[in-house]
Amino acid sequence: MNQKVLEELVKKNKQYCCKGKNADYIPALAKINPNQLGITLYNIKTNETLSVGDSSVRFAIESISKVPALLLAIEDNGLSNVLKHINTEATGFAFNSPLNMEINHAKHPLNPFVNIGAIETTSLIKGNSSDECYRRLLTFIKEICHDNTISLNEEIYQSESKTGDINRSLAYYLKGNNMLSKDVEGVLEVYFKQCSLNVTTQNIAMMASVLANKGMKPWDNKRLISEESATLVKSVMTTAGLYDESGEFSAHVGIPGKSGVGGGLMGVAPNQFGLGIFSPPLDSSGNSLAGIKLLKDVVDELHLNIFD
Amino acid sequence: MNQKVLEELVKKNKQYCCKGKNADYIPALAKINPNQLGITLYNIKTNETLSVGDSSVRFAIESISKVPALLLAIEDNGLSNVLKHINTEATGFAFNSPLNMEINHAKHPLNPFVNIGAIETTSLIKGNSSDECYRRLLTFIKEICHDNTISLNEEIYQSESKTGDINRSLAYYLKGNNMLSKDVEGVLEVYFKQCSLNVTTQNIAMMASVLANKGMKPWDNKRLISEESATLVKSVMTTAGLYDESGEFSAHVGIPGKSGVGGGLMGVAPNQFGLGIFSPPLDSSGNSLAGIKLLKDVVDELHLNIFD
Amino acid sequence: MNQKVLEELVKKNKQYCCKGKNADYIPALAKINPNQLGITLYNIKTNETLSVGDSSVRFAIESISKVPALLLAIEDNGLSNVLKHINTEATGFAFNSPLNMEINHAKHPLNPFVNIGAIETTSLIKGNSSDECYRRLLTFIKEICHDNTISLNEEIYQSESKTGDINRSLAYYLKGNNMLSKDVEGVLEVYFKQCSLNVTTQNIAMMASVLANKGMKPWDNKRLISEESATLVKSVMTTAGLYDESGEFSAHVGIPGKSGVGGGLMGVAPNQFGLGIFSPPLDSSGNSLAGIKLLKDVVDELHLNIFD
Amino acid sequence: MNQKVLEELVKKNKQYCCKGKNADYIPALAKINPNQLGITLYNIKTNETLSVGDSSVRFAIESISKVPALLLAIEDNGLSNVLKHINTEATGFAFNSPLNMEINHAKHPLNPFVNIGAIETTSLIKGNSSDECYRRLLTFIKEICHDNTISLNEEIYQSESKTGDINRSLAYYLKGNNMLSKDVEGVLEVYFKQCSLNVTTQNIAMMASVLANKGMKPWDNKRLISEESATLVKSVMTTAGLYDESGEFSAHVGIPGKSGVGGGLMGVAPNQFGLGIFSPPLDSSGNSLAGIKLLKDVVDELHLNIFD
């Protein structure tokens, strides 16, 4: 795919920005210019990067941070130990709902990409203090995104923390059922911070490219995470990466993906591309509306669908 | 992979037969010799077939029939029309539970591979009578399995029909909520019959090979189903093919799969292999226990994991 | 209370007829004149009857029939045996929802006044055929209502049977979980028929007066049901007689009640009055809107609230 | 009833102490001597008190405190305002489960006697600080129990607060859904303290007698709460006072009741008696096992069943 084709696809899908709606639970997200669409493709075979549109705009990583948090938790504890704390099943309900756990009296969160599972995941990151946990995760994210300038959006963080009562409810549910070994507020501090990091589509594409490249950073050919870990995470992104829209995303787009309410969308084409997309307006499930449409077009154009 | 390696993998996994438990809701399944394990690999590039163990034993297709029923429904109505009646999301609950639909007041079954969605699917197969629907489906299954001798196991059918009250409950739920256009008993007759067909691992491997081959029968290079249809079905097998164990199966095995309580297991390695496995004892989610373990070993040996 | 006071209360509450909405799932109920309100009070101490408004209009008994069905099931099997099949807890959900049973894997319906529990109840009525069960129940209802002319509304019955698929779903759920000893269609035939009997507010008031009078028919002082049975039924009417509005009804009206979607409402003031009310338009929970308001006024006027 | 008869009933039911199990979520409750059974009857017509067994033992009031908290919230805000924040329906689930609210997207807790509703109730008590709210509630409880010596069990309070994470989860659920106007930790401090007050069966019987006496303190004939408030609370005790055992309690005992995991049980016989019972071992729903059996015997002996 050349620059021109990608530009046409971005142009074609820009119209969908006005069909969605920015996240509005915090002012810092509501006020973002909705009319933005950007994309970065990282080709792991050629190490070439292709960027179009609003690809250097910094936006809140939000739930896409659940991926590097899981990867670091696996590096810290080993995959099998992490899977003793979190399952890999879709819940069938919204991102912030613990209904399935409650109904089935589940002993662990169903997957690491709904909020309750992500809070559990974050609690597994090692560190002697919540600050150390956060710093270790930030360092890991800088490395996997190949960008040392990634930093906290303090306004987002303050808002996330202030309005995060449903997440507090979920964390105390875990704590009250003996599924959380650390103290709730400390874990949530790391969780709210990890969601509040500013990233670009280039950052997201780099992270995706490491997953696409079996855990090796394609730009320096050095291993960052195990192949086993990369494979598992791509699988869970496929079955549970877009909340209760995961099955539809898998059926219509067909590559592992992970979305964030900040408008970010990560796509992984195994052994081929890492993709990062940004467009703030969301669909009813909380996923970037124009972003998904653009990703589908790119996947189709490049024949990346893993089920094809 | 040569015959010898496959024989070793079958031998290695035979021990797990005794760890599971035959389906016992009907005598015809309970009484089957549990100590059986068979596998067939169909290589779509070479058109070679490799079979080991109990690969010519006939067993009840059960829920694997949900795949050809969906394929025929798509051929009959078009993919987009089928998706107006059935979604493609995992439910988060057991194969026979309508809980998620009820809680979310869903207007359609969540996916075609839980029972309530499969009953809906079967109702979409065209025909002027339930007998014609059944005959058309049987003809289709014979063709996709490349075996004209496939036929009804009358004992299984009678038992399925006699003990099928939970399925009746699901079908009347659909009917009562205006989601089923045909009459319940007629649809269930087709549904119970499609579950009661006798097949072999060779049959299952052939069907899987058509999906692996983008909808073309590899043995004669003729198209049976559309590429779009084959891709979608592989995606839904990945996100919802093994009920509430789908995410774990996807994470640990890593190819589209579909199981049946008769002990059958279908695996699809896109552009490479169709796989059919048979071993009657099931795990707690209702999937062939030794079958899944053998499939994982084969996938690992042949590097078929689609997420790797 | 004299005739004049009651007339004023009926006149006052007649305005609420237009605030509700007739049941419309079957034409026979939808087409009924909504602007009707009638009441009968039976004073068990004086054996005097007071009727005002549309008290001799015949209407479908619908769910009020769940009370005599339960009473006959208790007479047939003994109270303790009935309680082995049906509990006495409120479900927290709508009249036709089995959600609570499913979520809690309940071994019995939660109470006899939601549909699934009422179907179970009807199945416990003795008889060698569904026709005999129905005839026995009809005879019992004629006796407890002191009216030999009570008969089936054939139009309602045909409609109930034809549109009763959610009830079929519930019945097959019971059957599939081994909670129903008889065949589904036979039980439903009785159930649909019991719901389709034509009654008047006078009939309902007589039935209520037997419950108010500890099981003795006040008009001839003969025992029809045991005191224990009458007491239990009044208790269950209080905790579960108006579906998911039972708690509110109990808090605002304060006597045991049972409603039907035909617009009927039965109230029991222990040791004092039996009350029957009729007004077709329903509130959002399916209870007679003007009926409840009138009943509250009568209860307040006569100081009948059992919690006061 | 004379002293001797009551002694016999206590003696008869003492055997059931060993059939239940102390609450064990905190050591302070687990370590209490299980072999205790005490009762106090307060006759509101004669102002006589009858006490037998362990009637002067101080025990933690726990959930019985939900009754005076509700009464004070009603006094502070008016009944209709309280009912804008809390409904009066049974939930169908355990005392600490928010499932029904979540499934039905309820805008208010279903009733004031499950934990989530009780936390809401406590938040409605007026005061400029949580300490003031607590002191006002303590003063009210001392008055309704006619005992100025009632005080906090500090050990219980510390344990309740330390292990109260499920309650924190519920409170943050309310907060996150905009149902709680005060800050969570402040409300929970009052809530945990109100649960940790030490009371006797005599205290409980006095409180019950005020409810039985339409809101007037029978000992000095002065009104403490409105009649309307007393009536409503008795109604809600009947439909929801014993959690998911409320319907069974109502069916088998037949008077308004409220239990606490400390082993306390309050019963109200309108216009006749206030009853307080204490026996620590609980049944599976969390209600005093011997306590319920003794209460039933007393109700039967004195013919207090409100449905009879």
pLDDT digits (tens, 9 = 90+) for D145-159: 999 999 999 999 999
Chain C residues whose CB is inside 8 A of the B172 CB are 165-166, 168-169, 172
What element of type H or E holds D189?
helix D184-195
Distance of alpha carbon C207 from alpha carbon C143, whole angstroms: 9
Measured in degrees and rounded to the nearest 5, phi and psi for residue C40 equal -130, 130
Please tell me whether residues A124 and A13 are part of one structural domain.
Answer: no
Phi/psi zone of residue C105: left (φ > 0), alpha (ψ -120 to 50 degrees), beta?
Answer: left
Chains that touch C (3 or more CB pairs under 8 A): B, D
Compute the average pLDDT of residues D255-259: 98
Query: What are the catalytic residues of C?
Result: 63, 66, 191, 243, 261
Please tell me whether residues D191 and D67 are part of one structural domain.
Answer: yes
Do the Cβ atoms of C101 and C114 come closer than 8 Å? no
Which of D160, D163, D165, D182 to mutate to probe the A interface, most A CBs <10 Å? D165
- pLDDT category, C224, cuts 50, 70, 90? very high
Chain C residues whose CB is inside 8 A of the D94 CB are none
Alpha carbon A233 to chain centroid distance? 11
Question: What is chain A's alpha carbon radius of gyration, rounded to the nearest angstrom?
Answer: 18
Do the Cβ atoms of D42 and D218 come closer than 8 Å? yes
**pTM for this one?**
0.96
- pLDDT category, C1, cuts 50, 70, 90? confident
Please tell me whether residues C103 and C142 are part of one structural domain.
Answer: yes
Please tell me whether residues A23 and A106 are part of one structural domain.
Answer: no
pLDDT value at residue C243: 87
pLDDT value at residue B1: 80
Q: What is the pLDDT of residues D44-95, one digit of tens each?
A: 999 999 999 999 999 999 999 999 999 999 999 999 999 999 999 999 999 9
Which of C162, C169, C177 to mutate to probe the B interface, most B CBs <10 Å? C169
HSE of C45 in the Cβ direction (CA atoms, 13 Å)?
Answer: 5
Beta bridge partners of residue B50, listed in sequence order: B41
Compute the average pLDDT of residues A113-138: 98
Do the Cβ atoms of B237 and B270 come closer than 8 Å? no
Q: Does A103 touch chain D (CB under 8 A)?
A: yes
In Å, how far is B246's CA from the nearest CA of chain A? 7
Q: Does A307 touch chain B (CB under 8 A)?
A: yes
Residue D29 included in any domain: yes
Asked whether the beta carbons of residue C170 and residue B165 sit closer than 8 angstroms, the reply is: no
Please tell me whether residues B72 and B169 are part of one structural domain.
Answer: yes
Please tell me whether residues C212 and C191 are part of one structural domain.
Answer: no
Do the Cβ atoms of C204 and C266 come closer than 8 Å? yes
Measured in degrees and rounded to the nearest 5, phi and psi for residue C52 equal -140, 145
pLDDT(D175) > 90: yes
Chain C residues whose CB is inside 8 A of the B175 CB are 165, 168-169
Nearest CB to A239; choose among B90, B110, B270: B90
Q: Does C117 touch chain D (CB under 8 A)?
A: no
- The alpha carbon torsion through B120, B122, B126, B130 (nearest 10 deg) reads -110
Distance of alpha carbon D144 from alpha carbon D230, whole angstroms: 12
Chain B residues whose CB is inside 8 A of the C167 CB are 176
Q: Known binder of ligand: residue A111?
A: no
Nearest C-alpha in A relative to D168: A172
List CB contacts of D39: < 8 A, sequence separation 6 or more: D6, D10, D51, D52, D53, D55, D201, D275, D276, D277, D278, D294, D298
Residue D133 included in any domain: yes
Catalytic residue among B52, B55, B66, B210: B66
Mean pLDDT across chain D: 97
Q: Does C176 touch chain B (CB under 8 A)?
A: yes
Nearest CB to B99; choose among C103, C164, C166: C103
Do the Cβ atoms of D241 and D113 come closer than 8 Å? yes
The domain spanning residue D232 has which CATH number?
3.40.710.10
Please tell me whether residues D7 and D84 are part of one structural domain.
Answer: no
Catalytic residue among B10, B52, B55, B63: B63
What's the number of domains chain B is made of? 2
Chain A residues whose CB is inside 8 A of the B248 CB are 87-89
Please tell me whether residues C83 and C56 are part of one structural domain.
Answer: no
Binding-site entries of D for substrate:
63, 115, 160, 167, 191, 243, 261
Q: Which two tokens stand for residue C96?
A: 């036709």
Residue D140 included in any domain: yes
Compute the average pLDDT of residues D197-210: 98
Please tell me whether residues D115 and D165 are part of one structural domain.
Answer: yes
Residue A307 included in any domain: no
Do the Cβ atoms of A274 and A210 come closer than 8 Å? yes
Please tell me whether residues A266 and A213 are part of one structural domain.
Answer: yes
Q: Does B25 touch chain C (CB under 8 A)?
A: no
Chains that touch D (3 or more CB pairs under 8 A): A, C
How crowded is residue D203: how many other Cβ atoms within 10 Å of its Cβ?
A: 27
pLDDT value at residue A96: 93
Q: Does A172 touch chain D (CB under 8 A)?
A: yes
Residues of chain A with pLDDT > 90, as a percent, come to 98
Interface predicted TM-score of the whole assembly (ipTM), two decimals: 0.96
Chains that touch B (3 or more CB pairs under 8 A): A, C
Q: Which two tokens stand for residue B292?
A: 């899944």
What is the number of H-type helices and E-type strands within chain A?
14, 9
Please tell me whether residues D97 and D122 are part of one structural domain.
Answer: yes
pLDDT(D243) > 90: no
Beta bridge partners of residue A41, listed in sequence order: A50, A275
Q: Does C239 touch chain D (CB under 8 A)?
A: yes
pLDDT(C212) > 90: yes
> What is the mean pLDDT for each group of 10 consecutive residues in chain B (308 residues)?
94 97 94 97 98 97 98 98 97 94 96 98 98 98 98 97 97 98 98 98 98 98 98 98 94 97 98 98 95 98 97
Nearest CB to A110; choose among B92, B227, B305: B92
Nearest CB to C247; choose among D104, D111, D248: D111
Residue type present at position C276? G
Q: Does A197 touch chain D (CB under 8 A)?
A: no
Asked whether the beta carbons of residue A238 and residue B103 sit closer than 8 angstroms, the reply is: no
Chains that touch A (3 or more CB pairs under 8 A): B, D
Chain D residues whose CB is inside 8 A of the C246 CB are 89-90, 239
Q: Does C247 touch chain D (CB under 8 A)?
A: yes
Residue C308 included in any domain: no
pLDDT(C86) > 90: yes
The domain of D250 spans 3-60+227-302
Which of C235, C237, C296 to mutate to probe the D interface, most D CBs <10 Å? C235
- Please say whether the dihedral angle defined by the alpha carbons of residues C148, C154, C156 and C162, taken in this order, is positive or negative: positive
pLDDT value at residue C307: 98
- pLDDT category, D238, cuts 50, 70, 90? very high
Chain B residues whose CB is inside 8 A of the C161 CB are none
- Angle in degrees, 0-180, between the axes of helices B115-123 and B66-77, rounded to the nearest 10: 40
pLDDT(D233) > 90: yes
- pLDDT category, D1, cuts 50, 70, 90? confident
Last residue of a domain, one of B146, B161, B195: B195
Residues 121-150, chain A, touching D (beta carbon < 8 A) = none
Residues 272-301, chain D, touching C (beta carbon < 8 A) = none
Distance of alpha carbon D237 from alpha carbon D215, whole angstroms: 15
Residue B142 included in any domain: yes
Residues 68-97, chain B, touching A (beta carbon < 8 A) = 87-93
Active site residue A191: yes
Compute the average pLDDT of residues A215-232: 98
Phi/psi zone of residue B215: left (φ > 0), alpha (ψ -120 to 50 degrees), beta?
Answer: left
Compute the average pLDDT of residues C43-66: 98
Compute the average pLDDT of residues A68-80: 98
List CB contacts of B32: < 8 A, sequence separation 6 or more: B22, B59, B263, B280
Q: Known binder of ligand: residue B42?
A: no
Q: Which of C269, D283, B250, C202 is closest to A247 using CA atoms? A: B250
Q: Which two tokens stand for residue C179?
A: 């909670």
Residue D217 included in any domain: no
pLDDT value at residue A1: 80
Q: Which two tokens stand for residue D244?
A: 């998911």
pLDDT value at residue C227: 98
Distance of alpha carbon C17 from alpha carbon C14, whole angstroms: 6
Query: Exposed, middle or buried: residue A5 (CB in 10 Å: 0-12, 13-18, 19+)?
Result: middle
List CB contacts of B69: < 8 A, sequence separation 6 or more: B112, B118, B121, B122, B125, B137, B194
Compute the average pLDDT of residues D236-241: 97
pLDDT value at residue B65: 98
DSSP H helices, chain A, are 3-14, 27-30, 66-77, 79-82, 99-103, 115-123, 130-144, 154-162, 165-176, 184-195, 201-212, 227-240, 246-252, 289-302
Please tell me whether residues B239 and B250 are part of one structural domain.
Answer: yes
Distance of alpha carbon B54 from alpha carbon A46, whole angstroms: 47
Residue type present at position B108? H
In Å, how far is B174's CA from the nearest CA of chain C? 9
List CB contacts of C7: < 8 A, sequence separation 6 or more: C52
Chain A residues whose CB is inside 8 A of the D169 CB are 168-173, 175-176
